[in-house]
Homo-oligomer: A and B are copies of this chain.
């Protein structure tokens, strides 16, 4: 068993334990037992629990990006934005623990993932402090502007507004402020998207049509995702179904 293999297995086990038992189960001893090693593995490969939490956060960003990458690009850029929002929300709801760690909202053992650490390790020119997800919103916004459905503003400005609203809704929903069921999608998230689209230049009719299109496309994609019971697909992680449970702390 090579060294880097242990490193990957540690992150895998960390994500699994996090999803199953929450932040407090993410402990060096439990982790070591999970991969059949001693606690030293954490220190030889990461240097400490803090760096391991950072690695978990990076994995969360990676899964978020992977899920957004699966959203198809269609002729309707605003329907695409709605679809991206649904994917973003599904990623968070599918594994709220990982989402919380990813955005520094949870600190297992007092070790909060810091943005500096997240961006330090690999400098592959990720935009905006290591969040690829933002790029997807920015590109869709650019297409909406190009298509004349958004006013001619900077795509960055539109994307920053969309991201703020989307991230805020998801954060509040996963925190329990909007109830448990999926009513929030219908009554808050989608209307919020329509409001933003109209405010950015679209007509009410067109925005609502795009929202409806995204909703049905999304439902179909969920149905076609056989093997998983309506969950989000992750392209790269082959066997491990990290999404599927939503345990509460």
Measured CB to CB, the residues of A under 8 A from B are 23-24, 100, 103-110, 112, 114-115, 128-129, 131, 157, 160-161, 163-169, 171-172, 175-178, 187-189, 191-192, 194-200, 249
Task: Please tell me how many copies of the chain the complex holds.
Answer: 2
| A196, B164: Cα distance in complex, Å | 12
Q: Which residues of B contact A24 (CB under 8 A)?
A: 110
Contacts of A200 in B (CB 8 A): 195, 199
User: Does A129 lie within 8 Å of B168, measured CB to CB?
Assistant: no
A160 & B175 in contact (Cβ 8 Å cutoff)? no
- The distance from the CB of A178 to the nearest CB of chain B, in whole angstroms, is 7
Question: Can you list 21 residue pairs at the A/B interface with Cβ under 8 Å?
Answer: A23-B110, A100-B105, A107-B110, A112-B249, A114-B249, A115-B177, A128-B177, A157-B188, A157-B191, A160-B178, A161-B165, A161-B191, A164-B168, A164-B169, A164-B192, A165-B165, A168-B168, A171-B171, A195-B196, A195-B199, A197-B199
Taking A24-B110, A195-B196 as known contacts, 15 extra A-B pairs with beta carbons closer than 8 A to each other, sorted by chain A number, are: A103-B171, A104-B105, A105-B106, A106-B112, A107-B107, A110-B110, A129-B177, A161-B191, A163-B172, A164-B168, A166-B168, A168-B171, A195-B195, A198-B198, A199-B199
Shortest CB distance A141–B (Å) = 12
CB distance from A140 to the nearest CB of B (A): 16
Q: Is the CB of B112 within 8 A of A23?
A: yes
Q: Return the chain B residue nearest A100 by Cβ.
A: B105
Which residues does chain B contribute within 8 Å of A104, judged by CB atoms? 105, 175
A180 to chain B, nearest CB (A): 11
Set B103, B107, B161: member contacting A195, Cβ < 8 A: B161
- Write out the residue numbers on chain B whose beta carbons fall within 8 Å of the beta carbon of A249: 112, 114
